[in-house]
Structure 1
Amino acid sequence: MRPEHKPPKGWFKTTSGDTSPAAGTTLTVAPSGASFEYNRTFDLDAATLASVKAGTAVVVVHGLDPATLSAAAQAKPSDLVPSLPLAATSPALCGALKASQMSSMPPGSAATGGGSTAGVEDQGLLALGGGLLAAGAVAGGLALRRRSAVQG
């Protein structure tokens, strides 16, 4: 076991099958490839829920892209399971879970942006700007006319 690792205490989430610590290196049920979608719903036991609420729960995603590894790293066996390549068991992502204030997941995607772009929100400012442009055009026209009269 790597020195930075603690012994597994929780579940291993895979696309199907066993979620016990013994399933942590079962590669046949893990999503893989250049593009994949992962969906799985599960219930948390009391210990896991307490860990999330206490801020001590973490998520670790294992598996590195072999194409980005050096030849020496590609040939190296895993220190967790020597029959597997190092890339299969190396942590790629990790982070702490934070408990949400929501009691349930909201439907649909997150609302982003400030709202609709339909309509004019500041009609007064638009009218003022148009008025100032018109006044500027009239003043410019008068100035040109006065200059022409003086020169003529």
Structure 2
Amino acid sequence: MNRKSVVALGASAVALIAATTLAVGPAQAHDSNSEEKTVTLTAKLRQLNGSGASGTATAVVSGQKIKHIEVHAKGLTPDAPHAQHIHYGKQAENECPTLKLDTNKDGRLTTLEGVPAYGPVVVSLNTTGETTPASFLDVTRFPVSKDGKYNYSRNNINFTDVAGTGYPGAGGTGTAKQIADAIRDGKGVLVIHGQDYDGNGKYNFSNPEGASELNPNLPAEATDPAVCGVLEEH
């Protein structure tokens, strides 16, 4: 798969990733006094699945908007698109996953295996266009790593209502305000996807990982998580 690959998954795929959020304990209490303040959140991004990749992220959140976000990553699969998102779930652990979530014991974490830790997608960090979870695998609009590196920057990303985030009511929908408040409270997890397990310089099906559980037309290498970090105020 290269930069010209087009993947536009519909609501069914978004529901799939959202529906896998598991109840792992009560959510932390929210400080209502901090709901509208502007905060600067940072994350140190560390490798998942032995990717060897790393990076940093900074996000300025104000009201129901990310006023500015930057992601600087290195050590990624070279010259390949990398889906990146902010994840959050009211009943998730809201942290980076470990191999304890490797349910089939194959030594790797898939995106869905990681959902109990980091929650479903609430923001797609695309380079252009809309940023809702509906675009979480539209690879034509995610950054491409030049020689394994990229520097991503975007302004004025609005939070939206997201179904499957574990809130009471129909569909477990969290409102834009609820999700913004949770991210401001340090519960957002930034995940970069895409891992070239066999080191042949491209994402492919010809390896033990096979197809992605998110879309059978994509290799698992294109969607498995490679880097993760929690956005927190320091």
Give, in whole Å, the separation in 2 of the partners of 1:38 and 1:67: 26
CA displacement, residues 24-72 of structure 1 (integer Å, 9 cap, x when unaligned):
1111111113243322112454334311233211111111135537951
Structure 2 vs 1, CA of residues 65 and 72 (structure 1 numbering), >3 Å: closer, same or farther?
Answer: closer
Q: Which residue of 2 aligns with 1:96?
A: 230
Structure 2 vs 1, CA of residues 42 and 48 (structure 1 numbering), >3 Å: closer, same or farther?
Answer: farther
Give the alignment's TM-score, normalised by structure 1: 0.54
Residue 61 of structure 1: which of 192, 198, 203 is its match? 192
Give, in whole Å, the separation in 2 of the partners of 1:67 and 1:4: 21
- Determine whether 1:79 maps to 2:213: yes
Give, in whole Å, the separation in 2 of the partners of 1:9 and 1:91: 13
Unaligned runs of 5+ in 2: 1-16, 18-111, 160-176
SS in 1 for 2:228: strand
SS in 2 for 1:37: strand
Residue 25 of structure 1: which of 116, 134, 137 is its match? 137
SS in 1 for 2:229: strand
- Determine whether 1:37 maps to 2:151: yes
The number of equivalent residue pairs is: 99
> In angstroms, what is the RMSD of aligned CA positions?
2.7
Q: Which has the higher contact order (CA 8 A, sep 6+)?
A: 2
Q: Which amino acid aligns with 1:31?
A: P
Unaligned runs of 5+ in 1: 101-152
SS in 2 for 1:87: helix
- The list of structure 1 runs, each at least 4 consecutive aligned residues, that deviate by more than 4 angstroms after superposition, is none
Q: Which amino acid aligns with 1:63?
A: G
- Worse-superposed segment, 51-60 or 86-95: 51-60
Q: Which residue of 1 aligns with 2:125?
A: 13
| 8 Å contact kept, 1:73–1:86 | no
Q: Which amino acid aligns with 1:5?
A: V
Give, in whole Å, the separation in 1 of the partners of 2:179 and 2:231: 11
Q: Which amino acid aligns with 1:22?
A: A
Q: Which residue of 1 aligns with 2:183?
A: 52
Structure 2 vs 1, CA of residues 9 and 77 (structure 1 numbering), >3 Å: closer, same or farther?
Answer: closer
Q: Which residue of 2 aligns with 1:113?
A: none
Give, in whole Å, the separation in 1 of the partners of 2:187 and 2:150: 29
Give, in whole Å, the separation in 2 of the partners of 1:77 and 1:31: 22
Structure 2 vs 1, CA of residues 30 and 40 (structure 1 numbering), >3 Å: closer, same or farther?
Answer: same
Give, in whole Å, the separation in 1 of the partners of 2:129 and 2:197: 25
